[in-house]
Amino acid sequence: MNGSPASAPPKLEDFRRITVKVGSSLLVDSAQGCVRRDWLAALAADIAELHAKKADVLVVSSGSIALGRKVLGLPEKDLELEDSQAAAAVGQIALARIWAEVLADRKITAGQILVTFGDTEERRRYLNARATIARLLSARAVPVINENDTVATNEIRYGDNDRLAARVATMASADLLILLSDVAGLYSAPPLENPDAILVPVVSRVTAEIEAMAGGAASRNSRGGMRTKIEAAKIATTGGTHMLIADGRVLHPVARLRDGAPCTWFLTGSNPVTARKKWIAGALEPRGALHIDAGAATAMTNGKSLLPAGVTRVEGNFARGDCVVIRNATGGEIGRGLVAYDASEAVLIAGRNSQDIAQILGAPGRTAIIHRDDMVVAGE
């Protein structure tokens, strides 16, 4: 969907890549410590419906700690870090299995991805994670993502899946993030204490006033309260992804949204590809340059990736994931992009056919030296 700053909320069927975030309190029956299977099966049916309409779907699912805790006989709250890590190690197995099962019942393949903070924040690891997600989606699988809580430590972890989901959604260039929650959306004041609080249907910019509405409470099973959801909204909308918060406590929560259930939309002004391209064009310090021949320059202007075969000279000492300038035969800058190889490798594969990469480098690598999604062409 193209980002439009219109105040009327968009429609679910307009989106082509949707991330659905499911919190622990929806997924896990906290008294029993088991998955609410009927609810999950209904959600899987909703996901299958989006998928059948050709949308790519990603799931960010919490629940590993809530599921593992009971099995290990650990208390319900205030777990020590080691306890959360151990609970996650046990619970994640069950979580991944149940997602694989409910999606398989809808003839959809699930792929588990466990990410750490470093995987989304460090450029080269970010590119790796993004490439894996892109490959799964191109195979029409549904990535089921959680934080790798077994190795995450307090200092370097998300801790809540709201912000993780927003980061993953922008990383995957999703155009919509749905946060299924135990509230219908953002209220003008915390609804439990304020019976007059009203649901805000559309937020077109996260202002200080919106942040003040969020309060801070989190339910027992989930880490995030409204505050982490607002943080998520900021990450998502800056990265070109629309976000909505909706009540997930009902059966078929996504289908109900399609049918007009109340929710809060957080709208972004730009589309995800443009947002990432802005990031590439503006925020990064180029670490080197690739000089390319006329054929490659034409291909690039026609929206193609840059292949090693078109590279005539490599300049600088960059690492994979760094931003480099792309120069034409006369040395003029024609674009910038995130390079898929270290400079030492780029020198070896420059001018060579992509099929020879494995033989030259001793390991298979990416076909493109700069993928078109990672590239800004001058004038774009």
Residue 270 makes contact with ligand GLU by CB under 6 A: no
- Out of 66, 133, 184, 244, point to the residue binding ligand GLU (CB under 6 A): 66
Residue 149 makes contact with ligand GLU by CB under 6 A: yes
Residue 223 makes contact with ligand GLU by CB under 6 A: yes
Identify which of residues 149 and 322 has a Cβ nearer to ligand GLU in the complex.
Answer: 149
- Out of 147, 231, 247, 345, point to the residue binding ligand GLU (CB under 6 A): 147
- Give min distance, CB of 78 to ligand GLU, in A: 14
Residue 64 makes contact with ligand GLU by CB under 6 A: yes
Identify which of residues 148 and 328 has a Cβ nearer to ligand GLU in the complex.
Answer: 148
Q: How far apart are CA 290 and CA 80, in angstroms?
A: 50
Residue 120 makes contact with ligand GLU by CB under 6 A: no
Query: Is 348:311 a contact under the CB 8 Å cutoff?
Result: no
Q: How far apart are CA 26 and CA 247, in angstroms?
A: 10
Identify which of residues 76 and 380 has a Cβ nearer to ligand GLU in the complex.
Answer: 76
Q: How far apart are CA 184 and CA 245, in angstroms?
A: 7
Identify which of residues 224 and 365 has a Cβ nearer to ligand GLU in the complex.
Answer: 224
Options 75-83, 112-120, 221-229, 301-309: segment touching ligand GLU (CB under 6 A): 221-229
- Strands 333-338, 56-61: pairing is unpaired
Q: How far apart are CA 26 and CA 138, in angstroms?
A: 29
Identify which of residues 56 and 160 has a Cβ nearer to ligand GLU in the complex.
Answer: 160
Binding mask 153-192 toward ligand GLU (x if CB under 6 A, else -) reads -------xx-------------------------------
Q: How far apart are CA 63 and CA 88, in angstroms?
A: 8
Identify which of residues 222 and 305 has a Cβ nearer to ligand GLU in the complex.
Answer: 222
Options 49-57, 64-72, 279-287, 288-296: segment touching ligand GLU (CB under 6 A): 64-72
Residue 225 makes contact with ligand GLU by CB under 6 A: no
Q: How far apart are CA 14 and CA 146, in angstroms?
A: 26
Options 182-190, 217-225, 271-279, 359-367: segment touching ligand GLU (CB under 6 A): 217-225
- Give min distance, CB of 91 to ligand GLU, in A: 7
Options 142-150, 262-270, 281-289, 290-298: segment touching ligand GLU (CB under 6 A): 142-150
Q: How far apart are CA 122 and CA 50, in angstroms?
A: 31
Task: Scan residues 80-99 and list those touching ligand GLU (CB under 6 A).
Answer: 88
Identify which of residues 66 and 263 has a Cβ nearer to ligand GLU in the complex.
Answer: 66
Residue 19 makes contact with ligand GLU by CB under 6 A: no
Residue 62 makes contact with ligand GLU by CB under 6 A: yes
Sorted by sequence, the CB contacts under 8 Å of residue 77 that are 6+ apart come out as 220
Interface residues with ligand GLU (CB under 6 A) are: 23-24, 62-66, 88, 146-147, 149, 160-161, 222-224
